[in-house]
Amino acid sequence: MIGKTYTTMLGGRELSIETGKLAKLVSGSVTVRYGDTMLLVTAQASDTQSKLDFLPLTVEFEERHYAVGKIPGSFHRREGRPGEKAILSARITDRQIRPLFPKGYRHETQVIITVVSADGQNAPDVLGPIGASAALSLSDIPWAGPTACVRVGQVDGQFVVNPTAEQLSRSRMDLVVAGTKDAVMMVECGAQTVGEDELVAAIEFAHAEMQGVIGLIETMRAELGQEKFNFVAAAGPSVDYVPEMAERALAAGLRDALLTPKKKDRSARTKAVRNAVIEAMVPDVAAEGAEEKIAALKDAYSKVEKQELRRLILEDDLRADGRNSRTVRPIWIEARALPRAHGSAIFTRGETQVLGVTTLGTERDEILIDDLTEETGDKFLLHYNFPPYSTGEVKRMGGQSRREVGHGNLAKRAIRAVLPSFEEFPYVIRVVGDVLESNGSSSMATVCAGILSLMDAGVPIKAPVAGVAMGLVMEGERYRVLTDILGMEDALGDMDFKVCGSAEGVTALQMDIKVGGITPAIMREALAQAREGRLHILGKMAEVLAAPRAELSPTAPRIVSMKINPELIGKVIGPGGKQVRELEAMGAQVTIEEDGTIRIFSADAAAAQAVQAKIAGLTKEAKVGEEFHGTVVKTAAFGAFVNLFPGQDGMLHISQISEERVNAVEDVLKVGDKLHVKIVNIDDRGKIDLVRPELEGKVAPRAPREPRSGDRGDRGPRRDFGDRGDRGPRREGGERREFSGERADRGPRPERTEAGDAPAPAPAADRNSNE
């Protein structure tokens, strides 16, 4: 038998992990199956140590369109760059496994997750981390797992593990949690405003539910796991210099330098202390080995700097910019910062600044999503941009980075929860967060700037939301939670815990840690402290914009919505789209839905109203009892055709034209005459009978036309010519009855005209429509 399969139950469904069957040349390889969703996950490390000073780990999430029986929609008909969803899925795995590699590990390591089958109900994003955990656990790569990952939804008040796509569409939250046997390591959440206690309960529920998967991987490792290879930790000779460097740096004023409020000033002062200490320790820079020693001393100084900062926080509750652990940096805000944007705001918190801009568009502007799900559209876009100048650096500018995708998605989740529905506010909304300065929490500043720009544009959001980034410094049993962390506190700390929400509750949450996990008690404390900081920020925002502006921004386009009979959509579109093109030539965009909803989008209100009036005329439907001042457009022997409104005529019978007997319609009416008429009947084919209101009661009403029926459509049944009515039976032998001037019981033959022809009957179309 090839391969071995291990199974467990998760959320009431079987989860299976198989190894030894596919990709056997790689260090660790498994397939994970849940329902009909299946992933191949591999883990491989290089043989040699990298010279990089960080962990060279890459995680790739590859979506194969054959997994859902699709051919890619790209020009080359093959998969290209990972889409946003694939990038976010890769980040979930990366954030789960990265903290558990040993310190100093520098072997280039790659985890590749390939979705080979997707059933559309069981999402592959939370299966990737399970596969990565199993592959790393079975491999020879040093790693302190296993871990597991689950999604939790809340449907009808109950927590659900790994909800199906249908259940997730009805869930109040979309919570992804990863952890080890003892602690939670990663959290990602979007929610419809839930309380902090409810969130902690959901996270604890997730951690309990993942234990079966962790136990399964432990069993696999015990039975099939390889021995981990040895590696030399990249500590370097700098460790030997740390004690002396600490003593000298503190004596040279390191503490005061670290407590300098401004980032640039602090960097300059700490650098000056470092150079002074190194100069004293290496007086002759040209001496043999001096260059290597200087490099080691610089590394030792970085370690000392980190140690001192952590000591100040834990022992003195004192941070680099002079704040204590619960204080939010100073905030200033400016709304309507850009004159032509639909909505804009600048949000500055300390040395982090974001320009938020809102643009409103039509349904044509929604983004189409072509991944392993059904092709869908998204009417809310949020783009986060992090240019190099925001940190005072020079870097190559290319496409959107994974970090930008991840930060933008977090802000998008936070804001989406409070947006009005498309039916309430029929605009496609794009929010852009341009980071102008960054010294920590730029994604949370994007949430604040984005919400302010939406309110500035007049978007009727349900409630303002804000975001704050929490940090953690932990040494053994001692720890301190930090509110509104700086960039350096993110780097030296043990947790990055971002919390977004309104005054009522949380709308988005993201947690990453650098230690083995945190307990529910620490999480509760962090959430409570985050709420305190969030309410403070919301108060500052309310001082500038407490609610959305009462009207849309003057520069924002207007959308006029109207509803027509779906059967009349063709009149608006016209043959080959001619009519709708003529409407758009009037200065507006027109979108038409199958249910008859029409939206007219224009920056010119007058143009939108003109297009609306035109459509109303094209799709107007006549009703019995309505009166019109119409125009005679045609006359016939039996009456006159009167145009009531564009595209709709009615027939005024000759008996309804005048109180007096009318021998010929043309004696009273001619084409072009204006006439006051009233609709008295509309038959089953939509044909309209008219009368003159002023003659009602003075002339005998004409009986309404009865609908025709029978097996010949609307022409009635075929006569049986065997019985020819009052004409008698046809003579045998095909002989015809002879007629002279008298035509038996049918009366005399009509007189011939001068041309020798009988009077022409009314055209068939006229007879069918008006007789």
Place of tokens 């809102």: 358
Could you give the CA distance from residue 605 to residue 561 in angstroms, rounded to a whole number?
13
Q: What is the DSSP letter of 638?
A: T
Cβ contact 39:116 at 8 Å:
yes
Burial of 241 (0-12, 13-18, 19+ CB in 10 A): buried
- Asked whether the CA dihedral 496, 502, 503, 509 is positive or negative, the reply is negative
How many CB atoms within 10 Å of residue 511? 24
Rounded Cα distance, 163 and 153, in Å: 6
Q: Using alpha carbons, select from 66, 18, 14 the residue that is nearest to residue 40.
A: 18
C-alpha to C-alpha distance for 102 and 100, rounded to whole angstroms: 6
Q: Are 408 and 434 in contact (CB under 8 A)?
A: no
Tokens representing 751?
């007189």
Specify which residues 14 forms β-bridges with: 9
Say which amino acid occupies 416: R
Among the listed residues 274, 269, 92, 107, the one whose alpha carbon sits nearest the alpha carbon of residue 185:
92
Compute the 3-state secondary structure of the chain and give helix, strand, coil in percent, each to the nearest 5: 35, 30, 40
Whether the Cβ atoms of residue 40 and residue 22 lie closer than 8 Å to each other: yes
Residue closest to 358 by CA, chosen among 460, 462, 446, 432: 432
Distances (CA, A) of 14 to 34, 118, 202, 527: 6, 15, 22, 34
Q: Assign 595 to helix, strand or coil.
A: coil
| Rounded distance between C-alpha atoms, residue 317 and residue 324, angstroms | 5
Full DSSP string of 158-174: EEEES--HHHHTT-SEE
Cis peptide before 729 (omega within 30 of 0): no
496 annotated ligand-binding residue: yes
Provide φ and ψ at 675, rounded to 5°: -145, 135
- Tracing tokens 């559309």 back to the chain, one arrives at 120
Q: Cα dihedral angle (314, 319, 322, 327), rounded to 10 degrees?
A: -90
512 marked ligand binding residue: no
Where do we find the tokens 């402290």? 529
Which letter does DSSP use for residue 342 in this model?
S
Token reading at 691:
């009368």
Q: Which residues are annotated as a binding site for Mg(2+)?
A: 490, 496
Which residue positions form the known binding site? 490, 496
